């Protein structure tokens, strides 16, 4: 088991965005989360990566429980230092890439391993170049993000996340900010990672991609998981009316 | 954090306090009205716990010297200089000169023209001027009581009224050209005015202008606090003396009284006498070199 | 008076002008950062104080502030202000400019997207690392043109030190122009300001160019 989230609740100013959500991810699994906008999918990822604090619920990475529900029903987080050591288990790829514009491609990828993980610089450089080569970006190592296309930038962002060797990688709508003709190259990289048994959770609107790549699909709506299962079952034979309606709208 | 807080509160307080007295001093410069100065100084008094109420400010009996105020024309403009000088003398004869002087008690005593010895026959006749001519009177916009620009844009002062009277006598048009004192030569040379007539000192500038009549003599003195122990010019040795830039007192200390100035610990040059006077009251300097008219004006509120 | 004599008498004033300029920059650039952090503080009181401070410092003329820093201690507390003149000038200039820099910095920080902070957090950067490695370099690039403007204004504002009878270059120019009835000192002053500002603009442009490898 890589990640276990139980009974996650989150409200923004009285509006319940996540209502008692649970998510379990095993090693090597690729989980896709689909659903209409405002369903809480992105919030779930932001809670899993501690960018947002949950109101209640439990989050466990590997054998460390980072968040538990205290006696008063409110979530209790581990102290700062211990929480930081949990953070190294995961990486996150943003919709807007969020590359550091003043760093070259190579420095974007290398900087955190060298300055956060304090690893040997030469060793990191070799690894970073290998990852960039896999992303087909090794020739652009000295370029700056502004000189790259959106698809290339997102691939750098993926490389940057991989360089920290996370146990699980989250993707928050990784192709939504891209022009349609550029989504393919990013999806190809994610597919390649799936073949290498990288554990991933992908929030996406790319239904064919979710169907082809994932081991499991979650359909979320209005803060709850409506249906989950094998992609062929969810896409081919949805059990819930809301799922059917959503997929119908999507195909039109 | 507490320290920082205290510092900032002090800053805010001090700004508001000084906004009050700063306004007072500029009012006295702008309007030249003695009552207003007195009022401003009174408010200041209330805010000055440190100031010894017994201290007054006075001139030393010894003076730095006398200067003549005259009308400066462009070099070579002899004819205009003569006509204007003649008209001024005519105004002395018909009493206008003294009548205007009565309105300015601070300078009345320095007016040096009298009817004795004026040859009426040599003067231009009333209304004899070219009525299409407009006399452009250039003056310092902030030099009360000789000339000043009021808040509402109107001009006033002894020199302004006298110049207006000259134009009326000659039958000329009058145009006021108030300028920044630093720019006086540029204004005159550029032809935007016909003369510099604004408490303008002749000494040291004899060759730079064609001079009209000297109508006022002013004395440069030394202003000190009554408890300073300074009795004479010799006592100024080793003291800090303040003076305003581009004034006759400053010129004198640079020129005819340079030897005296050399005995000072420092000659502090100010942009305005108002600040110098505040420094004198605060004890940051020991004396001020200033013409006695302007000096009397400064101390009027305090003594 | 010959040109070289004029230049010689104005030379000391130029040194004084430069002294005000450099000391003001030295103190106001970091102090602006402090005020900016106060302005962005989570504590309402500190934020409020910074807000009022900036409003007063930017809302009143620098000349008035110089008078306040110099005469304030005497009129408020009766302290002797003999020999305190130069300190007051540097205080007044530094704190006034710090307020302007604080607002420029604030604009710079607010222009950085939240995503930059989030990316740094996910990658495990500490708060200090995030500030110095990720955020500050981008802020510097953003604010550089406004800072250049402010520095150029400072070069010209140094003439306000004459308010407190500090004989910087321009006051000497006025004195010499008056005593020599000559326009030449003003031309010298103009050339001095122009050259100084040209140097500032040139230097800052080089820095901007150096940071121009990304946008």
| A116–C133 C-beta distance less than 8 A | no
What pLDDT sits at residue A251? 65
State the smallest CA–CA distance between residue A115 and chain C in angstroms. 8
Q: Phi-psi bin for A13: left (phi > 0), alpha (psi -120 to 50), beta?
A: left
What pLDDT sits at residue C1? 72
What pLDDT sits at residue B154? 83
With beta carbons under 8 A apart, name residues in chain B contacting C82. Answer: 283-284
Over residues B165-185, the mean pLDDT reads 91
How far is it, in rounded angstroms, from Cα B125 to Cα A49?
Answer: 100
- The backbone torsions φ and ψ at residue C123, rounded to the nearest 5 degrees and listed phi first, read -75, -5
| C119–A98 C-beta distance less than 8 A | yes
pLDDT reading at B29 higher than 70: no
What pLDDT sits at residue B289? 95
Of C56, C69, C80, which is closest to B12 when you measure between CB atoms? C56
pLDDT reading at A145 higher than 60: yes
State the smallest CA–CA distance between residue B190 and chain C in angstroms. 12
Question: pLDDT by residue (tens digit) across B252-287?
Answer: 898 889 999 999 999 999 988 889 999 999 999 999
Strand ordering across the sheet containing A64-69: A15-25, A3-12, A56-61, A64-69, A75-77
- The backbone torsions φ and ψ at residue B225, rounded to the nearest 5 degrees and listed phi first, read -80, 145
| B269–C171 C-beta distance less than 8 A | yes
Q: Which of B89, B241, B69 is nearest to B169 (CA)?
A: B89
With beta carbons under 8 A apart, name residues in chain C contacting B284. Answer: 74, 80-82, 84-85
All chains having 3 or more CB pairs closer than 8 angstroms to chain A? C
Whether C214 contacts chain A with CB within 8 A: yes
| A100–C119 C-beta distance less than 8 A | yes
With beta carbons under 8 A apart, name residues in chain C contacting A160. Answer: 123
Instruction: Check residue A73 and report its DSSP letter.
Output: S
Give me the residue label for tokens 């800090």: B240
Least trusted range by pLDDT, from B31-45, B153-167, B253-267, B278-292: B31-45
Rounded-to-5 percentages of helix, strand, coil across chain C: 85, 0, 15
| Structure confidence at residue B74 as a pLDDT band (50, 70, 90) | very high
Shortest CA distance from B267: residue in chain C: C165
| C215–A115 C-beta distance less than 8 A | no
Residues of chain C with pLDDT under 70: none
| A116–C129 C-beta distance less than 8 A | yes
What pLDDT sits at residue A19? 93
With beta carbons under 8 A apart, name residues in chain A contacting C138. Answer: 101-102
Shortest CA distance from C51: residue in chain B: B8
Structure tokens at A112: 């955190």
Give me the residue label for tokens 């896709």: A32
Q: Are strands A64-69 and A224-229 parallel, antiparallel or unpaired?
A: unpaired
Question: pLDDT by residue (tens digit) across A101-140?
Answer: 999 999 999 999 999 999 999 999 999 999 999 999 999 9
State the smallest CA–CA distance between residue A25 and chain C in angstroms. 19
Structure tokens at B235: 């006592």
| A115–C122 C-beta distance less than 8 A | no
With beta carbons under 8 A apart, name residues in chain C contacting B21. Answer: 75
Reported ipTM: the value is 0.93
| Chains B and A: 3 or more CB pairs within 8 Å of each other | no
| Chains C and A: 3 or more CB pairs within 8 Å of each other | yes
Q: Which of A222, A183, A190, A223 is nearest to A205 (CA)?
A: A183
CA angle centred on B46, ends B40 and B49, rounded to 5°: 130
Over residues B236-255, the mean pLDDT reads 90
Shortest CA distance from A52: residue in chain C: C118
| Structure confidence at residue B176 as a pLDDT band (50, 70, 90) | very high
All chains having 3 or more CB pairs closer than 8 angstroms to chain C? A, B
Structure tokens at B139: 């003056």
What pLDDT sits at residue B303? 65
State the smallest CA–CA distance between residue C106 and chain A in angstroms. 20
Whether C132 contacts chain A with CB within 8 A: no
Query: What is the set of domains in chain C, with CATH numbers?
Result: 3-210 (1.10.3720.10)
**DSSP string spanning C15-82?**
HHHHHHHHHHHHHHHHHHHHHHHHHT-SSHHHHHHHHHHHHHHHHS-HHHHHHHHHHHHHHHH----T
| C163–B50 C-beta distance less than 8 A | no
H or E, element range at A220: strand A216-221
| Structure confidence at residue B32 as a pLDDT band (50, 70, 90) | very low
State the smallest CA–CA distance between residue C115 and chain A in angstroms. 6
With beta carbons under 8 A apart, name residues in chain B contacting C95. Answer: 11
* Chain B interface test: which of C1, C61, C75, C176 (most B C-beta within 10 Å): C75
Give the residue, A240 or B3, on which the prediction is more confident: A240
Q: Which of A181, A233, A185, A225 is nearest to A203 (CA)?
A: A225
Mean pLDDT of chain B: 81
Q: Which of B261, B250, B242, B251 is nearest to B57 (CA)?
A: B242
Mean pLDDT of chain A: 93
**What length is written for chain C?**
215
What pLDDT sits at residue C215? 78
State the smallest CA–CA distance between residue B193 and chain C in angstroms. 16
Q: How far is the first Cα of chain A from the last one, in angstroms, to the nearest whole number?
A: 38
Structure tokens at C120: 């740094």
What pLDDT sits at residue B255? 84
State the smallest CA–CA distance between residue C64 and chain B in angstroms. 7
pLDDT reading at B34 higher than 60: no
- CB < 8 Å from A in window 43-102 of C: none
What pLDDT sits at residue B60? 92
* Chain C interface test: which of A86, A90, A93, A101 (most C C-beta within 10 Å): A101
């Amino acid at each position: 088991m890589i990640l276990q989230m139980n009974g996650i609740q989150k409200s923004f100013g009285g509006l319940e965005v996540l209502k008692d959500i649970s998510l379990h991810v095993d090693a090597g699994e690729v989980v896709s989360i689909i659903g209409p906008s405002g369903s809480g999918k992105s919030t779930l990822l932001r809670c899993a990566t501690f960018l947002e604090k949950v109101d209640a619920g439990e989050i466990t990475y590997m054998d460390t429980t980072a968040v538990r529900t205290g006696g008063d029903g409110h979530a209790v987080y581990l102290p700062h230092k211990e929480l930081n050591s949990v953070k190294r288990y995961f990486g996150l790829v943003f919709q807007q890439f969020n590359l550091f514009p003043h760093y070259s491609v190579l420095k974007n990828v290398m900087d955190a391993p060298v300055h956060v993980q304090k690893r040997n610089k030469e060793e990191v450089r070799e690894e970073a170049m290998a990852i960039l080569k896999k992303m087909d970006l090794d020739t652009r190592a000295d370029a700056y993000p502004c000189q790259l296309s959106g698809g290339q930038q997102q691939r750098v962002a993926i490389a940057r996340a991989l360089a920290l060797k996370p146990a699980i990688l989250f993707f928050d709508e990784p192709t939504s900010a891209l022009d349609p003709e550029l989504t393919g190259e990013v999806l190809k990289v994610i597919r390649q990672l799936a073949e290498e048994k990288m554990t991933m959770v992908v929030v996406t609107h790319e239904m064919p991609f979710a169907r082809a790549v994932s081991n499991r699909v979650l359909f979320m709506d209005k803060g709850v998981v409506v249906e989950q299962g094998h992609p062929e079952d969810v896409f081919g034979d949805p059990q819930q009316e809301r799922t059917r309606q959503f997929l119908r709208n999507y195909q039109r | 954090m507490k320290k920082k807080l205290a510092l900032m509160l002090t800053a805010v307080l001090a700004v508001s306090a000084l906004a009050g007295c700063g306004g007072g001093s500029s009012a006295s410069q702008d309007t030249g009205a003695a009552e207003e100065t007195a009022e401003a100084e009174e408010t200041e008094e209330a805010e000055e716990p440190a100031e010894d109420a017994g201290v007054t400010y006075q001139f030393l009996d010894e003076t730095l010297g006398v200067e003549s105020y005259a009308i400066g024309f462009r070099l070579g403009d002899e004819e205009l200089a003569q006509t204007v000088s003649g008209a001024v003398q005519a105004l002395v004869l018909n009493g206008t000169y003294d009548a205007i002087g009565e309105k300015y008690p601070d300078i009345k005593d320095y007016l040096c023209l009298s009817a004795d010895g004026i040859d009426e026959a040599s003067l231009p006749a009333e209304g004899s001027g070219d009525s299409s001519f407009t006399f452009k009177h250039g003056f310092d916009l902030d030099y009360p009581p000789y000339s000043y620009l009021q808040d509402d844009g109107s001009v006033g002062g002894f020199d302004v009224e006298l110049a207006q009277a000259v134009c009326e006598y000659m039958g000329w048009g009058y145009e006021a050209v108030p300028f920044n004192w630093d720019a006086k030569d540029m204004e005159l040379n550029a032809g935007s005015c016909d003369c510099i007539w604004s408490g303008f000192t002749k000494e040291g500038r004899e060759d730079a202008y064609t001079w009209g009549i000297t109508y006022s003599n002013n004395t440069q003195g030394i202003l000190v606090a009554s408890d300073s122990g300074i009795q004479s010019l010799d006592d100024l040795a080793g003291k800090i003396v303040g003076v305003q830039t581009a004034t006759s007192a400053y010129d004198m200390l640079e020129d005819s009284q340079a030897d005296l100035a050399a005995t000072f610990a420092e000659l502090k040059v100010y942009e305005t006498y108002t600040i110098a006077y505040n420094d004198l009251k605060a004890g940051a300097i020991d004396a001020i070199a200033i013409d006695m008219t302007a000096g009397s004006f400064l101390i009027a509120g305090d003594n | 008076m010959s040109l070289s004599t004029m230049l010689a008498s104005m030379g000391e004033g130029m040194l004084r002008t430069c002294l005000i300029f450099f000391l003001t920059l030295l103190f106001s650039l970091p102090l602006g950062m402090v005020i900016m952090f106060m302005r962005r503080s989570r504590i309402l009181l500190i934020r409020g104080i910074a807000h009022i401070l900036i409003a007063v410092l930017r809302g009143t003329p620098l000349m008035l502030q110089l008078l306040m820093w110099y005469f304030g201690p005497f009129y408020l507390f009766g302290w002797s202000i003999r020999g305190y003149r130069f300190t007051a000038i540097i205080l007044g200039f530094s704190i006034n400019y710090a307020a302007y820099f604080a607002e420029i910095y604030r604009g710079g920080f607010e222009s950085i997207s939240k995503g930059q902070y989030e990316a740094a957090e996910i990658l495990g950067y500490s708060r200090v690392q995030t500030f110095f490695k990720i955020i500050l370099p981008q802020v510097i690039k953003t604010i550089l043109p406004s800072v250049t403007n402010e520095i150029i204004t400072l070069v010209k504002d140094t003439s306000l030190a004459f308010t407190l009878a500090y004989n910087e270059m321009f006051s000497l120019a006025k004195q010499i122009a008056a005593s020599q009835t000559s326009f030449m000192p003003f031309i010298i002053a103009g050339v001095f300001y122009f050259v100084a500002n040209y140097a500032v603009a040139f230097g800052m442009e080089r820095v901007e160019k150096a940071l121009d490898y990304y946008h």
